[in-house]
Copies of this chain bind each other. A is one copy, B any other.
């Protein structure tokens, strides 16, 4: 334990208001809000930031929140948490489970906001230990890939100053108490695609008078499995997930169209383009095989870039995390297949560090089947699962990661 940043971070967080932060977390978890509707969440965050002494602005890029703390000469450091929840029906059975039907904080953004709130308060209280400017950002609509770009387009940097460094973190499955870092590629690119299959509707008892889009969509989904299994080299990490299929209203009516929504993950633009070409080709071929009266519509939707940490920045932040939590808690997990719109905040040039904080309760981890880390990792509830339930004792550590990371890149006092 040698660096000033690490020592200061431990000092500043030695007496965190853990009960208060847990209450905040449970409150956020009970009241999840979908993308761009994070009004209550934003209000809560803004109130806390203002109380901690930040100049606070709401409504940036829709429902975004910015808190600024100017504290003398020094670099500007942006700390970011995303705020939106997901259209998932919670199944955790927790006493503080979602009270909104069909909406859930299944990706841990409630924890991200809690962490950010705690860190912002601690850094403000300890402002005599550092110099520079803090931008604390509550970002909307990460799940839909819109929020970061909307905040930038709404003048985030013109209005509040361009940061020198960005820091972000994400809750992840894994035994609570690990801090995976990668000095380069850490998250993959993501692209949404929608396919509409046009058949010809009719009575369920007379399929011969129709072109059945339900059956066509089903064959299409099975055929799409070959994009990953046959068309990409084994080493080209990529995923094609059909997250949604929808067709028809009644047992005995053959509808006239079917809709398939899918998401791609890849680690290079070349692979992404190859996957898109394969999807178009397969959709075309399957609809031709079915005799569809019209070509399928294949529409490319939200796209997330790859998340590539600046090596120097991430090495600095990983080092301080190693000091704060122990060297064996920080390791390079290799690139994940998840995606973020966090890089949109970097405008292609601002260096950033983005890391994970594992949040699976110890007892859940231990009881999960499997002997190896990957086995258990696959067995515990992951992000977007209706059973995703981070461990409450990770609230303190997630505040410390932000505080120590910020201190490591700010100027000492």
Residues of chain A whose beta carbon lies under 8 Å from any beta carbon of chain B: 86-88, 91, 106-107, 143, 173, 188, 190, 192-194, 200-210, 212, 214-215, 217-223, 225-256, 258, 261-263, 265, 270, 278, 281-282, 284-291, 301-302, 334-339, 372, 374-375, 377-386
Whether A204 contacts B386 by the Cβ 8 Å rule is: no
Select one of B201, B234, B245 contacting A258, CB under 8 A.
Answer: B245
Select from chain B the residue with minimum beta-carbon distance to A283: B289
Question: Once the chains are docked, how many angstroms separate the CA of A207 from the CA of B386?
Answer: 15
CB distance from A269 to the nearest CB of B (A): 10
Instruction: Name A222's contact: one of B107, B188, B215, B249 (CB within 8 Å).
Output: B215
Majority SS of interface residues in chain A? mixed
CA distance in complex: A223, B290 (Å) = 9
Closest 8 pairs (CB-CB, A-B)? A285-B289, A244-B248, A218-B221, A204-B241, A285-B288, A205-B337, A252-B263, A203-B384
Q: Is the CB of A253 within 8 A of B86?
A: yes
The complex is assembled from copies of this chain, and their number is: 4
Residues of B within 8 A of A143 (CB): 250
| Given A250-B86, A261-B250, also A233-B337 (CB < 8 A) | yes
User: Shortest CB–CB separation between residue A131 and chain B, in angstroms?
Assistant: 39
Can you sample 12 A-B contacts with CB below 8 Å?
A88-B249, A190-B205, A204-B265, A208-B232, A209-B379, A210-B230, A214-B221, A217-B245, A218-B245, A243-B249, A244-B250, A245-B245
B202 pairs with A87, CB closer than 8 A: no
Q: In the complex, what residues of B have CB within 8 A of residue A231's CB?
A: 207-208, 291
Q: Which residue of B lies closest to A213 (CB)?
A: B245
B243 engages A253 (CB within 8 Å): yes
Most buried by B among A87, A221, A231, A381: A221
A249 adjacent to B240 (CB under 8 Å): no
- A206-B383, A234-B337 given. 13 additional CB < 8 A pairs? A188-B205, A188-B234, A204-B263, A205-B265, A206-B382, A209-B378, A214-B245, A218-B220, A218-B222, A243-B248, A245-B247, A253-B384, A270-B372
User: When the two chains form their complex, are residues B229 and A251 in contact, meaning their CB atoms are under 8 A apart?
Assistant: no
